[in-house]
Structure 1
Amino acid sequence: MAKSAVYVNSDIESSDDEVITSKSMSYQPPAGFSLHKPKKGASSDFDISNTSENEVWLIRVPEGITNEDLSSIKLKTMPPTSGKSSHKTVTLGTLKKKDTSTTKYALQTITRDSGFAQEVFSLCPLFPTKAEPGHVIQASSGLNAVTHHLALVVEPTTPAIEPLAEEILSRPYQPRDQPEGLKMRFQFAGSQTQVPGTKLSGSGKQFAARWAETLEKRRKQEEEEKEARLREEQEQEEAEAEENDTAEEKAEEEKEEVAEEVDESQLEEQEQEKHSKKRKNEDAETEEVDAKEEKKHKKEKKEKKEKKHKKDKKESE
């Protein structure tokens, strides 16, 4: 079978092309990478084995953790490794950054059965090479090159359960607002069950006693709220009744004022009518007197005219 030739360009070594022969090779390495030629009989430049004095620790750290932070961790002695796999996680040390006041970190071991950070087992470390300073090579031994897998995780800040329970029990009971016209029928399991405090002992009995006190407080609170609502409704009804009485009194006063205004306007109209009638009567009397005077004046004038005519007639005779 003929061997195929593959040309690999390297920007690090030189601009010359390097010929690599292989039975069947279609892979082209990315720019900046070159083929590493290991020494004969050696897996890598670093011969790491179970009997070696050097160890490789693979630590997964969160964002924001520096090498200076890691150097400040005081580690405990690493527990001895056994042939059997264990899911138990061991904390080797803790870290608290200076710029934070609440966040604490714990350096914990990772095993195949620990249940977290399993992605570290798929990583293969890169080591510096002696032949080419500034370059790194992939460890050919894979997982066997890593002695311990560790992870720096944030410690939980959940408060203790007992103080939290005390705080929850001390909260005031907030009854559910029932919509008007509806009745609740669903009751979840245990909602109507009394706490059997007599059958408990120790901390359970104390908790039952505190729970009974809490229920009693809630019952009293419900009664007080019910009384307060009744008082509020009664005060509201009294206020509405008083407001209605005030409105009725005001309406009566307005009616009386309107009646008085009507009476005054009627009296004024009557006075005006009387004055108008009186004036008409006076005008009629004045006209009658004037007519009599005019009639009398006409009669006198006629008599004078007749007397003058008679006188003129006598003189003419």
Structure 2
Amino acid sequence: MAPKSRENVNSDIESSDDEGVIKNLDYKPPKDFSIYKSKKNTASVFDVDETVKHELWLIRVPEGVSNEDLATMSITLPSSTPSKEKVTLATLKKKEISSGSSSTTTKYQLQTVSPESGFAGEMMALQPLVPDASKGGRLVQAPLGIHQHLALVAQPSIPSGAPLAEEILSRPIPKREQPEGLKMRFKVSGFDTQVPGTKLSGSGKEFAANWAKVLEKRQRDQEEELLRAQEAMEAEDEVDEAAEDIEEDGDEYTQEIDTVVEAITTNEEEEEEEEEEEEEAEARTQSPIKKRKVESMDVDISESKKVKKEKKEKKDKKDKKEKKEKKEKKEKN
């Protein structure tokens, strides 16, 4: 088709009297245009009949990459199922001549287009048109659409910082010029600190000597503190041993006291019995009235003896129990 004028193009759809109903779908060229018919139709790999037998791939290629460059790539077949992640299928190195005589090598990677990428929507919205030989080479929509969406992406070349670092390190550091007459008055913290591998002079020597004294004092304090701790532990052990000795001596002393108390109690009981016997003898020689009094006294005395005996037995049991508990406690410790 060749244009004949630049007038406005009329619509190629004619509507019927009924609104919204399309009357004729046959293609009609715009005004002042005519349909071009090819005299010879050659078979093409992109013919509509051939595309049914193959897959259509849409590859986005940057400017400057030719078909010859693409022909040098060896492509790995992608998976038939779409993936959300990018998959690299091939790599390409292309030499490009920059300004002057120098040349640079650009690296490219052929990757699958993920739905989250920036140009995925643009590529996936494209609909391919292929020629149809049966209709005189007219372009029709591919029946199976695009099977794979790929993009050839240039890899950014990050320059190494090693040469620049070597250049910076090799630069001499010039001494900063100072005005005449200046005196250093302010010294920041750490100004006199010794740098490893350097010799001290002036105030640096004084600082090192003072620091050595501080370290010696710290070491002496640590040794004295350790000695005091050892002495405290020894004193504590001595106190524990003395307490054990006192406890043993106390047990022996308690036994001696118990023996003396028992002897005194026995003597008192014997004296009381002798006095009671004397009173009974005197009572026998007295009148009957006095005899009755003596008998009642005998009853009271016997009861009191019984009570004393019970008290003594309880006391003995209690003492034995306490001694037994002390002995068990001492054995446990």
* TM-score of the two chains, using structure 1 as the length reference: 0.37
* TM-score of the two chains, using structure 2 as the length reference: 0.35
